[in-house]
Amino acid sequence: MALKSKVALLVESRRIEIDEFDVPEIGADAALLKVEQAGLCGTDYKLYAGGLAKKYPIIPGHEILGFIERIGPDMARKHGLAVGDRVVVEASIPCGHCRFCDKGEFRLCVLGRFYGFTDASVAPHLWGAFAEYMYIAPGSAITRVAAGISADAATVAASTLGNGIRWMRTMGGADISKPVVIQGAGAQGLCAVIAARESGAYPIIMTGITADASRFELARELGVHHCIDVLKEDPIAAVRELTNGAMASSVLDVTGSPEAIALSIKLVCPQGTVACASSVSGNRPAVIDTNELVRKEIRFQGVWTHSLENTQQAMRIAESGRYPLEKFISHEFSLDEADKAVRCIGREIAEIDPIKVAIKP
């Protein structure tokens, strides 16, 4: 009897059904993953709500942790992997030939193929981690995960922390003894704190709102020096005082708020960098003071996802045990509860205020 994989299938906007697919045969340069855990982020909710889907049905799940169940000889040789190895798989599926893949920037691959967003009607169907098993295509970017790292820590490292390293350090320019501001106290902002601390930034300042009080506590545990509730105090005046008038060398915005994006220009110093990871929903564009952008010679840098190197760096941090990454996963759900998990990350369930959500198939 053919092996089956149970999946949570997004069949149309806001409708997830539990289904199953045959597990495919694996070619020489492919593999089959037994999914251990799938992390969720705001992009999963946008997909669920109908904002990103190109064609249904889709098996969501682009933050991928699992064990190699089967592997072809070419992929095994290329990656040094064997059955039973624990790995994370990058969401982007590189073509391996375009100008971006040639540079290692596979997240910008011209074909734009991603696990968790691909039409599940296309063989071999298992293109997402909201499933018991997932297909690993030729060319995929894979990182080995040490057995001693918890599933929660590995999931956070491979996704959110990898982002934080690239956005805060690589693109944002966080550096030794330079002040930084992180706008947003969710999982992504908290991981940016780790990246700022590892970079030696000082002081590390976080902005948020009154409802972020518990997140501020975790932020301080991670290394934030000052938390600013923008509903209770003027963030511009506060940052000016905390930096002795210099303002922040780097500002990272992960709020999704047009007002916060505009505020970033006010918080950064002349010739500083604003890294903006916010994707604003709806009809609410951010209005940026371009006069100040020009006068202060500010670098305004859009940032999106991370590189394979960032994942590897994040895994080394997870292995060190220096930070309580497990605390970032505030809510876990079964595969049967996938619809609830996605609505949870979308803040649709009044009694739940998650930091980060995961599904364990």
What is the CB-side half-sphere exposure of residue 93 using CA atoms within 13 A?
A: 17
Return the percentage of the chain with pLDDT > 90, whole number.
90
Longest dimension (CA), the chain: 70
Q: What is the pLDDT of residue 343?
A: 97
- pLDDT of 324 > 90? The answer is yes
Identity of the amino acid at 230: V
Q: What is the mean pLDDT of residues 202-212?
A: 97
Q: In 228-337, which ranges are continuous DSSP H helix?
A: 235-242, 258-267, 290-295, 308-320
Share the mean pLDDT of the chain: 95
Which is more confidently placed, 51 or 142?
142
Which tokens is 275 given? 């890294």
Domain with CATH 3.90.180.10 in the chain: 4-157+307-360
**0.85 cut: is pTM over it?**
yes
Question: Which option is the CATH number for 4-157+307-360: 3.90.180.10, 2.60.120.860, 3.30.110.30, 3.40.50.150?
Answer: 3.90.180.10
Contact assessment for residue 164 and residue 222, using Cβ atoms and an 8 Å cutoff: no
The helix or strand, by DSSP H or E, that contains position 71, with its residue range, turns out to be strand 63-71
- pLDDT of 267 > 80? The answer is yes
Query: Which of 77, 89, 81, 239 is CA-nearest to residue 155?
Result: 89
At 282, the pLDDT band (50, 70, 90 cuts) reads: low
SS percent in the chain: helix, strand, coil, step 5:
35, 25, 40
pLDDT in tens, 225-258: 999 999 999 999 999 999 999 999 999 999 989 9
Which tokens is 150 given? 């918890």
- pLDDT of 53 > 80? The answer is no
Q: What is the pLDDT of residue 286?
A: 85
pLDDT in tens, 326-348: 999 999 999 999 999 999 999 99
Domain 172-302 has CATH 3.40.50.720: yes
Contact assessment for residue 75 and residue 30, using Cβ atoms and an 8 Å cutoff: yes
The residue count for the chain = 361
> Which of 19-33, 39-53, 314-328 is predicted with the least confidence, judged by mean pLDDT?
39-53
- Which residues, including other chains, have CB under 8 Å from residue 186's CB and lie 6 or more apart? 215, 254, 355, 356
Query: Which of 60, 211, 41 is CA-nearest to residue 127?
Result: 60
Domain with CATH 3.40.50.720 in the chain: 172-302
At 1, the pLDDT band (50, 70, 90 cuts) reads: low
- pLDDT of 51 > 90? The answer is no
pLDDT in tens, 64-106: 999 999 999 999 999 999 999 999 999 999 998 999 999 889 8
Query: Which of 321, 176, 192 is CA-nearest to residue 255?
Result: 192
Contact assessment for residue 183 and residue 277, using Cβ atoms and an 8 Å cutoff: no
Q: What is the mean pLDDT of residues 167-190?
A: 97
Burial 100-123 (b: 16+ CB within 10 A, else e): bbeeeebbebeeebbbbbbebeee
- pLDDT of 28 > 70? The answer is yes
